[in-house]
Structure 1
Amino acid sequence: MKLRDLFRRRKRTPSVAPLGVPVAQVWTSPSQALRALGPSPSILVVKLDHIGDFITALPAVERLRAAFPTSTISLLCAPFVVELARSTGLFASVYSFDFFGARMQAPRFANADDVSELSALGVPPHDIVIDLRQEDEARALLWGLDAKFRAGFADPANPFPLDIALPEMERCMRRKPWPAMTHSSTRLVLLVEALAHARDMQGETAPFATDALAVAETQDCVILAPGTRLGIKGWTAEGWIGLARAMVERTSLDIAVIGRGEEAETTARIAMALPPGRLRDLVGKVELADLPAVMNAAAAFVGVDTGTTHLAASLGVPTVALFSGFADVRVWAPVGPATVVLHAGAGCAPCGLSIETQCPYQRRCMSVIDPEAVLSAMSGVARHPELRRLGAAPQPELVFAAS
């Protein structure tokens, strides 16, 4: 997106975007993007406001240094803060840009000229830029800096997308006083913690006991979990049937289906599509406390956005999550060391619709996900050699068409 287009969208946009034409794709999380920067990403702290604001940000900078001990951390600040900043010894380099001014009373929003002026300063590229201003007047300036990853505070009306963001607490609190407040210094530390946790969030395996049930039930199986409390999150029956059929045709692994009684019909249809003896029907037969044992024994797991998928991911089972447009994938995607999330990136997501019939697009966010996309995603996280040989075809780029 061009810079002028971002400024053109500075006015509040409608809350529901057109659906366009969704395309199934693998979701790349901020955690993956951060880890791709390597163990010692270069970091630029942006703190362009005043002296008191700079002082309150120092605990956050100390936390940043502790979280990224081998990184080079630099600072972009106001000219009148430069010498004070250098005296702290916290920064490898200190750059200056005069945006707010020493005595400005009413902050103004950055415009395209400001961005161009900052870009002309020639601040070196950095892997991560983190803006420690708690309101968004200067947020556009981040696009005058060469960076691979941007973090800061965000407002729904702000058109400048960040890779990691916390809500603008100050603006919310000014609209209506809250009975409990969070100190400004604590808020900045929380932003740094969000950045550090995202970098570290690879999905540690959960410590569930796994001796409650004989694991023979799902050995040499791929578990399918078609059920969900909200039907709008579900995949199509044709999708589950096609996936199961392809799996047994291309591997020696059997299919196990788990769920409650509601999944019996889908399970029966899957069984009819498979050769005799290739499906293990566990629907309604496994207690919740026994699920970790059942899942740990399996070669892989496929499910939708529901509790069993989160459980499989947290156990470290190779997991493919089929994520609908109901919830925000950036917030609610399952996390695990061998988990991949497939979604459609629909323009209407997250919709929050609780009933399937409320969707005016016939849930295309799920119907566009086909079995081949699932098999491709599975091959990238699976440990079983037959699953890895399924072949990971490149995922198509997300394309939106005019609606």
Structure 2
Amino acid sequence: MANEARSVEPRHGVGPVLEPFEDVRRIAVLRGGGLGDLMFAMPAVEALAAAYPEATITLLGSASHAALLSDRPGPVDEVDVLPVSEGVRPPRDGEVEDEAELERFFARMRQRRFGLAVQVHGGGRYSNPFLLRLGARHTVGTRTPDAAHLERVLPYHYYQNEFMRALEVVGLAGAAPVSVEATLHVTASERRFAEDLLGQLGADRPIVGIHPGATDPRRRWPAERFAEVVSSALAEGAAVVVVGDETDVPAADVIVAQAEHEAPGRLRSLAGKLDLGELCAVLEACAVVIGNDSGPRHLAQAVGTPTVGIYWLGNVINAGALGRSRHRVHMSWVTHCPVCGIDVTQVGWTAERCPHDESLVAGISAAAVYEDVAQLTATSPLPHDR
């Protein structure tokens, strides 16, 4: 039976804050996935840094995490990119899982002699055995009924805000919350880049950012709806930039083609053209960013920019912004697949996913979204005042 000990003192964060472990000099935090997944973990990492000020914190994450956090101020001291491992880091571009490569990785990690390893990567079916192979003296994390035990664990229930879940996990290690949402520092050189790039759109105009993509196609608002919002923003005098990676270029092209007639020269697609640091700076320069439940919307929030999010109802629970003064949520209440009728609220580690990718958020009104865009644009502070 795993140790789910009560704290000696009645300290509380999101859940109980237990006694810190002694003599912890190195901490590993396991959090793979995308940019949004990283943002979910950042307040927990900040809490660990405050609770263990003498410890070095290593994030075991993805290549995009390493690219974003390299040389950036924050609580993460270093990022080690995860090797391909089922349920922890999926293969890409012909990669395959290699046990010899995994063993080399774990041997290198065991040499670090981690005092504490923290699992904030799902329910633990795959991530807990992975964490245990690091050889840390102490382990904490979540677990589903079929997952390996760690020293201190929380039960994993799919529907929980991910910021709160990660903060509850580090409470097991004695780390009380310092903040509840991610904060990301934009460097001076990144800001200069954005100023030079966006100055062509007019320095005296508010800039509205658009991100039309999402990893899961069911979370994507139709590009035509985004174009309606863009047309309204342009008609009111704003400039607009569309951002995203290479996979978002087709949607960006639809938006530009449908809306550019409204104000030639004030709408520009940067999809597929920015690295992550440049993306952060462009998002920070915007008065407001509109996006699906996706990494760039989370990045915009982390750099201090107001956002309007397009969400399926289940994703609001797990990933929605907590506040409403600077962040607005438009939620689809669809509970069944539009094609086959399967109950799409049954998600998580035990659920079967139907094969259909039809949008679950297509019914959200463009007029309602633009109303929030207009309100936030009118009240948004300048980037240097955030």
Bigger Rg over Cα = 1
Name which structure has the greater RCO, CA cutoff 8 Å, separation 6+: 1
Which bracket does the TM-score occupy, shorter chain normalised?
A: 0.3 to 0.5
TM-score by length of 2: 0.46
